[in-house]
A and B are shown apart, each in its own frame.
Chain A
């Protein structure tokens, strides 16, 4: 079992560790022997996750961390080669997130000097899509087609992808963080007993160790974590739609299409797909909007969104929201931008009363132009904005609406 402790003699009670602990599990307590003079750091062992941030923060080497290396059966990393993208399809069409993953994973495969492969699982005629993947940068495409696989179901998809991974041994497998990807990536990782990192916002590789450095917002907070899967292969990640730019099409690009040998035992299925019912009504497609007017906690209530809607309508844009506003039930979830909502990259993103927590920022910081309206000039959103307006949005936005209306006349 890993252990962590404070060496009482060395701790000077500066509190640096408590400040830095991303989990807030360190508190400063009185020292019985020096009441009111020096404090002593105390770690709540029940909540500590042994991340080691405090050890690095302590200038007095007063924190001792003994971290057990994972004892989970390790694999010989050198047996694993290649970067894979799971080529998600929906009703026979490749999801666009796949093209984004191909562009980013291409870079990884080049750095590692290995081929980039895509895995395509689907109905009888899905192999016709394989060439599209090659033209977007895949060197190899593994295809498993069967009429039973036309629509996504966890059991057979998990079995097929797992079997293929075990056989071909890729070192990296990246999937879209879509409902499909998130549903069965976890199952695949659990069956192989390897690590899976959700919703990565950046991927890079360390050439020496060939470790994939997976960065994502973490701990429900304003911090990022870089996560490794050092002793297991493949290293698995999911990445959300719109985080990376789509790979361009290289017409006529050559690659290898590999038809995977069929094995009917892989099609064993405990669920049955009955039907698909399309419904776009509840879906406000903020991901496709050119201009987004977005509101956060500063709106103070439902009423504020009416104001933003008016501005958005005038600009021909859509209304977005931060999680705080959605949690408060001021607006529906389909408008949410950020880590737990949608990732967007519009031409102009107008953030009204949004302070800019990291989870929100990762969902919109690839916007071309960011406009922020906020009372607090020092909040992260104002710092990230190309145009920052310090003021009360309830005073500024109505005047903007008035001005634009006059211009339109």
Chain B
């Protein structure tokens, strides 16, 4: 079985601190990590491989040369091959152009049965790239998968997490799934995995390699444009301030609660 996992390099948001004066993010020293939701995608792919001997897991990411590190990370957790889709021409891509580039790269790689993505990336939070890739590859997709019930050569049955429970969905193969946190507990890298990932050769693909239409990649291929970026004027309320001894402020605020009728 050929399994593909699409992953993304994101800033580690748990590291991020805010400059209290400007309200901006302090980005210095923020490390880049595998998008946390993609960790579940990698784990599920590796589990599927372990259950189906002879399978292969290929991880693929689009990004700058530094994004290679997330591929190595995935290799240390059991993926077999890493592919970096990297070209300056991809710069400034929105979700549509990203989905296009990744779908072209996947086509270039050849056969696949299952594609996994995390449900969304923690930096953009759009959740759009996964289904977008499925559309461009003209295959079925199931989003928010929380469990794979069974898989055969031709079809797969999964549970799709919904706001009010879950749907059991059967899909033909090939299929793209975006997975949620509930699906598994990702493993830690093994020593063998680490040593192998260090030695592994990461394949790099450019826009020309994957035969991408230059009109559909990068900024060129992005219908959405960032018009402006701004730090929101924080809703500053002329609020009442409570400062002082804990005993005093606690009774003052509780008195306030009484006043507004919640106690």
* Complex contact flag A–B (Cβ < 8 Å): yes
Chain A residues within CB distance 8 Å of chain B = 1-2, 19, 22, 24, 44-53, 67-68, 70-73, 90, 151-155, 158, 178-180, 182-187, 189-191, 193-199, 213, 217-232, 270-280, 283, 291, 315, 323-324, 327-328, 333, 339-340, 347-348, 355-359, 361, 365, 369-371, 376-380, 383-392, 395-397, 399-400, 402-404, 407-408
Give A51 to B236 CA distance when docked, in angstroms.
28
Q: A1-B218, A179-B163 are in contact. Are A388 and B144 (CB under 8 A)?
A: no
Assess the B224–A279 pair: CB atoms within 8 A.
Answer: no
- The distance from the CB of B77 to the nearest CB of chain A, in whole angstroms, is 19
Chain B 164-183 per-residue mask, 1 if CB under 8 angstroms from chain A, else 0: 11111111100100000100
A389 CB contact (under 8 Å) in B18, B157, B253? B253
Give A387 to B226 CA distance when docked, in angstroms.
36
Give A396 to B245 CA distance when docked, in angstroms.
9
Q: Does B161 count as interface, using CB distance less than 8 angstroms?
A: yes
Within 8 A of A (CB), among B218-263: 218-232, 234-237, 239-244, 246-247, 249-251, 253-254, 256-258, 260, 262-263
Q: Mind listing 13 A-B residue pairs with CB under 8 Å?
A: A70-B222, A155-B140, A179-B143, A180-B162, A186-B99, A186-B130, A220-B123, A223-B232, A271-B169, A280-B164, A384-B239, A389-B243, A397-B250
Give the residue name and chain of the B residue nearest to A271 (CB). Answer: B171
Give A388 to B253 CA distance when docked, in angstroms.
9
Assess the A315–B263 pair: CB atoms within 8 A.
Answer: yes
Q: Is the interface of A mostly helix, strand, loop or mixed?
A: mixed
Assess the A68–B251 pair: CB atoms within 8 A.
Answer: no
Assess the B36–A327 pair: CB atoms within 8 A.
Answer: yes
Give A222 to B18 CA distance when docked, in angstroms.
8
In the bound complex, residues from chain B placing their C-beta under 8 Å from that of A217 are: 125
Q: Does B210 count as interface, using CB distance less than 8 angstroms?
A: no
In the bound complex, residues from chain A placing their C-beta under 8 Å from that of B206 are: none
Assess the A380–B141 pair: CB atoms within 8 A.
Answer: no
Assess the B167–A276 pair: CB atoms within 8 A.
Answer: yes
Assess the B66–A278 pair: CB atoms within 8 A.
Answer: no
Assess the B122–A220 pair: CB atoms within 8 A.
Answer: yes
Assess the A154–B141 pair: CB atoms within 8 A.
Answer: yes
In the bound complex, residues from chain B placing their C-beta under 8 Å from that of A230 are: 225
Chain B residues within CB distance 8 Å of chain A = 10-11, 13-14, 16, 18, 20-25, 27-28, 30, 36, 64-66, 88-89, 91-92, 94-96, 99, 120, 122-132, 134-136, 139-144, 157, 159-172, 175, 181, 214-216, 218-232, 234-237, 239-244, 246-247, 249-251, 253-254, 256-258, 260, 262-263
In the bound complex, residues from chain A placing their C-beta under 8 Å from that of B168 are: 273-277
In the bound complex, residues from chain B placing their C-beta under 8 Å from that of A195 are: 94, 96, 222-224
Give A377 to B136 CA distance when docked, in angstroms.
50
Q: A218-B229, A220-B10, A399-B247 are in contact. List 9 more A-B contacts (CB 8 A).
A: A182-B131, A183-B141, A197-B224, A221-B24, A226-B230, A230-B225, A355-B18, A388-B240, A396-B253
In the bound complex, residues from chain A placing their C-beta under 8 Å from that of B21 are: 378
In the bound complex, residues from chain B placing their C-beta under 8 Å from that of A155 are: 140
Give A47 to B88 CA distance when docked, in angstroms.
9
Give A143 to B181 CA distance when docked, in angstroms.
35
Give A350 to B20 CA distance when docked, in angstroms.
21
In the bound complex, residues from chain A placing their C-beta under 8 Å from that of B161 are: 179
In the bound complex, residues from chain B placing their C-beta under 8 Å from that of A361 are: 232, 234-235
- The distance from the CB of A251 to the nearest CB of chain B, in whole angstroms, is 28
Assess the B246–A395 pair: CB atoms within 8 A.
Answer: yes
B25 CB contact (under 8 Å) in A221, A356, A400? A221
Give A283 to B170 CA distance when docked, in angstroms.
25
Assess the B14–A327 pair: CB atoms within 8 A.
Answer: yes
Assess the B91–A45 pair: CB atoms within 8 A.
Answer: yes
